Structure 1
Amino acid sequence: MTEPPSARRLLDTGFGDDDGTASQAVSDALTAYDADPDGLHRETLAVLQDARLLVPVVAVLGEVELGEDGLARDKTSDMATVLMRGPGGRTALLAFTSMAALQAWRPDARPVPVSVTAAAEAARVDGADTLLVDVAGPVRFVVQDEDLQALAEGYRLADLAGRLAWTKVVDPG
């Protein structure tokens, strides 16, 4: 059976069976992190690197036209990821561990499920220097600087002799 010419295919993100909840491992890691953010940042990131995140997209007004009645109406709109600028001037791409966390921030945002690596890459492409996870809670987590760069470049945290370090498998061919 062939598809009609007007049919559109959606990109398979690899998360087709996703029900929008955070994994138990991610929830447990964030709960532990909340109790000891300085001591458990890297350990939490090691769990989060294997998670699915939801990057929100929202409608952004493009053009407005005035009707005969003088009222403004949306003429065009675009969908865009959300960047947030912090008080120190840093720019963050927002991402969420669950639909509940995303909807607590903004119920009308549409979720795009992505890997943490893809979210880090998107942050860098969008000019952000931070990936801000679950900005509205229950536990806020920040990925920035060398951690964001390493994730965006495909590095992974691995336990090397009892110490977490960035590693990357290189194809010798």
Structure 2
Amino acid sequence: MSERKLPGHIADALATAGGAADSANWPWAGRDLGPEGETVHQFGNDDGTSAPEYLRTLDELNEGRGTESDVVAQLATVRLFVPIVAEVAESAPGVNSLATDKESDMAMVSLRAPDGRKALPVFSNVLNLERWHPQARPVAVAAPRAALSAAAEDAQLMVIDPGASQTFVVRRPAAWALAQQLDWTPSYLDERVQQAVRRTVEDLPEVAAAGITAGSGVASKLADGRTVAGGGPGPELRIDVTLIPGLDERRVHSVVNELQTRLASDQAFVDLVDSLEIKLNASSIPNAF
């Protein structure tokens, strides 16, 4: 009876196994691969569930007893999971003309927000990640490290638990504060933003008053239909503008364009505000300055 031959792709894989080095050509010699020699993973005893303190802060937000800034502050102490997927960087022909993976890269997954901006998905627990992307590998990182990764990937948003019963979006200024482990104040409550708006309108004679409040995109919805005051992707800030009576449509457009141009050139404003909407009012507004 003739000897059965292994399929070509299996034979190729076995031929390269058992060498003195791993697939990255890093020698096995001198490496301790046991638990005591593991130095890469910070979370060796992690059970993969959501941090109780993060869930507690979300509950307080959902019940109206907490704020989105409380959630971001709590995230500074929390472990998250970043989804990583394998991508073939280079392939080569094997025996029987079957292609084999010669090199592969591990890459983070990214999303596109409704407004087109890049977003980094992260997860509070492994189960949510596996449901969202079964082929992704969960990599545990501290939340500030995840925020740094978002900045490195030029992601404007960090989206926690997309597709789960509650998704919380960390917008750009909050993500950057988290990456630097600094306190974050939402732009609609920040005195520095109020001052920037004052500077912008103080010499615009057509503007009778201006005030700031939370934008329409700050709120988010839970799977059960409830709306909570935080965790939305934006617009983050709303500027209510009251113009003097008697302006025609062309002049109104000109004033609004000038307002937007001035704000875009104010670096402090740009750093503190993720996204903006302007609402024109026909009469005086609350909290005007």
The TM-score by the shorter chain falls in which range?
A: 0.7 to 0.9
Alignment equivalent of 1:88, drawn from 115, 121, 133 = 115
Is residue 60 of structure 1 aligned with residue 60 of structure 2? no
Secondary structure, counterpart of 1:62 in structure 2: strand
Give the deviation of 1:11 after TM superposition: 4.2
Give the deviation of 1:75 after TM superposition: 3.2
CA distance in 2, matches of 1:50, 1:28: 13
Specify whether residues 73 and 124 from structure 1 end up closer, same or farther in structure 2 by C-alpha distance, changes over 3 A only: same
CA distance in 2, matches of 1:6, 1:47: 37
Aligned to 1:16: 44
CA distance in 1, matches of 2:165, 2:39: 30
Specify whether residues 72 and 100 from structure 1 end up closer, same or farther in structure 2 by C-alpha distance, changes over 3 A only: same
Give the deviation of 1:42 after TM superposition: 1.8
Gaps of 5+ in 1: 165-173
1:153-172 aligned within 5 A: 153-156=180-183
Give the deviation of 1:69 after TM superposition: 5.0
CA distance in 2, matches of 1:62, 1:4: 27
Specify whether residues 81 and 34 from structure 1 end up closer, same or farther in structure 2 by C-alpha distance, changes over 3 A only: farther
Question: Does structure 1 retain, via aligned residues, the 8 Å contact 2:84–2:108?
Answer: yes
Percent identity at matched positions?
34
Secondary structure, counterpart of 1:156 in structure 2: coil
Aligned to 2:212: none
Specify whether residues 19 and 67 from structure 1 end up closer, same or farther in structure 2 by C-alpha distance, changes over 3 A only: same
Give the deviation of 1:32 after TM superposition: 4.6
Specify whether residues 104 and 42 from structure 1 end up closer, same or farther in structure 2 by C-alpha distance, changes over 3 A only: same
Aligned to 2:101: 74
Of residues 20-29 and 133-142 in structure 1, the stretch that sits farther from structure 2 once superposed is 20-29
Question: Does structure 2 retain, via aligned residues, the 8 Å contact 1:101–1:134?
Answer: yes
CA distance in 1, matches of 2:105, 2:168: 28
Question: Does structure 1 retain, via aligned residues, the 8 Å contact 2:72–2:178?
Answer: no
CA distance in 2, matches of 1:14, 1:88: 35
Q: Higher strand fraction: Structure 1 or Structure 2?
A: 1
Structure of higher CA gyration radius: 2
Q: Higher helix fraction: Structure 1 or Structure 2?
A: 2
Alignment equivalent of 1:48, drawn from 75, 92, 96 = 75
Question: Does structure 2 retain, via aligned residues, the 8 Å contact 1:34–1:139?
Answer: no
Give the deviation of 1:105 after TM superposition: 0.6
Of residues 102-111 and 25-34 in structure 1, the stretch that sits farther from structure 2 once superposed is 25-34
Aligned to 2:54: 26
Specify whether residues 157 and 129 from structure 1 end up closer, same or farther in structure 2 by C-alpha distance, changes over 3 A only: closer
Gaps of 5+ in 2: 1-27, 191-289
Secondary structure, counterpart of 2:77 in structure 1: coil
Cα-to-partner distance string for 1:50-76 (whole Å, 9 max, x where unaligned) = 111011111112123455655554332
Is residue 124 of structure 1 aligned with residue 178 of structure 2? no
TM-score in terms of structure 1 length: 0.75
Secondary structure, counterpart of 1:26 in structure 2: helix
TM-score in terms of structure 2 length: 0.47
Aligned to 1:5: 30
Question: Does structure 2 retain, via aligned residues, the 8 Å contact 1:49–1:156?
Answer: no
CA distance in 2, matches of 1:4, 1:157: 47
CA distance in 2, matches of 1:24, 1:93: 23
Specify whether residues 33 and 60 from structure 1 end up closer, same or farther in structure 2 by C-alpha distance, changes over 3 A only: farther
CA distance in 1, matches of 2:184, 2:127: 27
* Corresponding pairs, count: 157
Aligned to 2:15: none
